[in-house]
């Protein structure tokens, strides 16, 4: 088990709200660690609409979801935030007092944090793999049915079935085929929405009979004690075939689930966290909620609102972290102090 990471501020979620909060906190000398279950920053903007234009970011007549994310990452660079990707925040436990809050935070990867304030910027919830509607699949999850590969060795010399036709499905087909005993790829059509070089490599493996490609879908699984033995594939011709399988990986993309945020003792209103509009603080002193995850009278789920919320929440965070320091209102345009922090 790793040692505890200490930080002033811990930000849950690397969407636009979480990213800009790094900036506003940084200007106030507050260092932040940022955790996201996704492998990269940007939240909905990079996950759902990286190529689509956004027209209502102040000062940017047009910027794409990915463009905005890249700009935010550039903007917060001077504050050197530490990102922890591919980790989901599971527990958030208050350990301090209302005047001097402090929190213990753990992730599903076992990382532990101690933070003085927590910014919940969890958006529409954590992005999690979609689970196919196959009866009894829960009993096999993380034992023989996986939505991500943590250990390649789990697949060595096994009959592996991969379901899907996107980049993840193809990448893992290509990666696992050399070590698996057999690899069956199941997809609903013979077209793949993936990088051309992966598609080419896959087609070569299929031609060489190293990957058994089946058109159709997995409709049932069989096994015992969480260990798969076979899966039933219903072909597009409606004929069922049973294929030996020790491991299965379904790749149907991601969906947003509120997830562990619900278990942190925060008030919830229809899956949103109510906050005040002065500090954007939750019912728990020291825990702030900004961006799409929060709610208050008049709330709009807009990126620009998340930016504003982060700026005001940072002011209150400063009072918790530096109770004796007076907060001076300054402009980045004219304050040499702020410019020094920004390295300009």
Partner 1 sequence: MVKTSLYDQANRYGAEPGGGAPTKAKITFVDSHGQARTVEGETGSTVMETARRNDIPEIPAECGGACACATCHVYVDEAWVEKVGKPSQMEEDMLDFAFDVKPNSRLSCQITVRPELDGLVVTTPSQQG
* CB of 70 vs ligand FAD, minimal distance in Å: 15
The DSSP string of 247-292 is EEEE---EEEE-GGGGGSS---BTTBEE--TTT-B-SSTTEEE-GG
Quick one: how far is CA 101 from the chain centroid? 26
Contact pick of 139, 215, 302, 338 for ligand FAD (by CB under 6 A): 302
> Residue count at the site for ligand FAD (CB under 6 A)?
38
Positions touching partner 1 (CB under 8 A) are 44, 48-49, 52, 124-125, 130, 132-133, 164-166, 187-189, 191, 193, 217, 252-253, 255-258, 270-272, 292, 300-302
* CB of 59 vs ligand FAD, minimal distance in Å: 13
* CB of 189 vs partner 1, minimal distance in Å: 8
Asked whether residue 127 is marked as a ligand-binding residue, the answer is yes
291's contact among partner 1, ligand FAD, none, with CB below 5 to 8 A by partner kind, is: ligand FAD
- Could you give the angle at which helices 167-176 and 196-207 cross, rounded to 10 degrees? 50
Q: Any bridge partners for residue 289, and if so which?
A: 120
130's contact among ligand FAD, partner 1, none, with CB below 5 to 8 A by partner kind, is: partner 1
- Could you give the angle at which helices 65-76 and 16-27 cross, rounded to 10 degrees? 20
Residue 24: partners with Cβ closer than 8 Å, 6 or more residues away? 310, 311, 313, 314
43's contact among ligand FAD, partner 1, none, with CB below 5 to 8 A by partner kind, is: ligand FAD
Asked whether residue 44 is marked as a ligand-binding residue, the answer is yes
Cα 4 to Cα 205: distance, rounded to the nearest angstrom: 45
Asked whether residue 36 is marked as a ligand-binding residue, the answer is yes
Q: What 3-state DSSP class applies to 136?
A: coil
* CB closer to partner 1 out of 130 and 197: 130
Contact pick of 6, 39, 56, 200 for ligand FAD (by CB under 6 A): 56
- Contact status, residue 84 vs residue 111, Cβ threshold 8 Å: yes
37's contact among ligand FAD, partner 1, none, with CB below 5 to 8 A by partner kind, is: ligand FAD
Build a one-symbol-per-residue string for 24-43: x at contacts with ligand FAD by CB under 6 A, - elsewhere.
-----------xxxx----x
Residue 340: its H or E element: helix 336-342
How open is the CA angle 85-177-187, to the nearest 5 degrees? 80
15's contact among ligand FAD, partner 1, none, with CB below 5 to 8 A by partner kind, is: ligand FAD
In degrees and rounded to multiples of 5, residue 24 shows phi and psi of -65, -40
Q: Does the protein bind ligand FAD through residue 72 (CB under 6 A)?
A: no
Asked whether residue 212 is marked as a ligand-binding residue, the answer is no
Q: Does the protein bind ligand FAD through residue 16 (CB under 6 A)?
A: yes
Cα 288 to Cα 310: distance, rounded to the nearest angstrom: 9
101's contact among partner 1, ligand FAD, none, with CB below 5 to 8 A by partner kind, is: none
Output DSSP code: residue 178.
T
Residue 311: its H or E element: helix 303-321
* CB closer to partner 1 out of 164 and 285: 164
Q: Does the protein bind ligand FAD through residue 81 (CB under 6 A)?
A: no
CA separation, residue 11 to residues 113, 171, 273, 318 (Å): 11, 31, 15, 15
* CB closer to partner 1 out of 187 and 214: 187
How open is the CA angle 321-322-323, to the nearest 5 degrees? 105
Output DSSP code: residue 153.
G
Query: Which residues in 256-275 contact ligand FAD (CB under 6 A)?
Result: 259-261
Q: Which residues are annotated as a binding site?
A: 36, 44, 49, 89, 127, 292, 333
Residues that bind ligand FAD (CB under 6 A): 12-18, 35-38, 43-45, 48-49, 54, 56, 88-89, 121-127, 259-261, 291-293, 301-304, 306
Q: Which residues are annotated as a binding site for FAD?
A: 36, 44, 49, 89, 127, 292, 333
């Amino acid at each position: 088990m790793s040692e505890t990471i200490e930080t002033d501020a811990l930000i849950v979620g690397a969407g636009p709200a979480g990213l800009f909060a790094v900036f506003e906190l940084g200007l106030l000398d507050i260092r932040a660690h940022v955790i996201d279950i996704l492998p990269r920053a940007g939240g909905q903007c990079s996950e759902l609409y990286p190529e689509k234009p956004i027209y209502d970011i102040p000062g940017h007549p047009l910027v794409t979801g990915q463009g905005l994310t890249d700009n935010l990452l550039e903007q917060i660079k001077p504050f050197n935030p530490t990102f922890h990707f591919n980790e989901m925040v599971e527990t958030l436990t208050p350990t301090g007092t209302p005047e001097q809050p402090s929190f213990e935070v753990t992730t599903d990867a076992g990382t532990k944090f101690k933070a003085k304030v927590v910014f919940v910027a969890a958006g529409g919830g954590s992005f999690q793999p979609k689970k196919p509607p196959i009866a009894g699949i829960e009993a096999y999850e993380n034992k023989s049915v996986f939505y991500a590969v943590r250990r390649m060795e789990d697949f060595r010399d096994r009959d592996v079935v991969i379901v899907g036709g996107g980049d993840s499905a193809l990448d893992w087909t290509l990666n696992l085929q050399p070590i698996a005993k057999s690899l069956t790829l199941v997809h609903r059509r013979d077209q793949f929405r993936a990088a051309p070089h992966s598609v080419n490599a896959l087609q070569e493996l299929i031609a060489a009979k190293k990957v058994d490609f089946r058109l159709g879908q997995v409709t049932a699984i069989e096994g015992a004690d969480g260990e798969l033995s076979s899966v039933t594939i219903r072909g597009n011709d409606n004929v069922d075939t049973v294929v030996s399988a020790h491991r299965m990986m379904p790749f149907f993309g991601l969906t947003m689930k509120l997830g562990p945020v619900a278990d942190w003792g925060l008030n919830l209103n229809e899956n949103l966290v109510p906050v005040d509009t002065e500090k954007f603080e939750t019912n728990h002193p020291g825990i702030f909620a900004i961006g799409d995850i929060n709610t208050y009278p008049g709330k709009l789920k807009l990126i620009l609102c998340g930016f504003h919320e982060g700026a005001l929440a940072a002011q209150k965070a400063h009072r918790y972290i530096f109770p004796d320091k007076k907060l001076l209102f300054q402009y980045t345009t004219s304050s040499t102090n702020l410019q020094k922090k920004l390295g300009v």
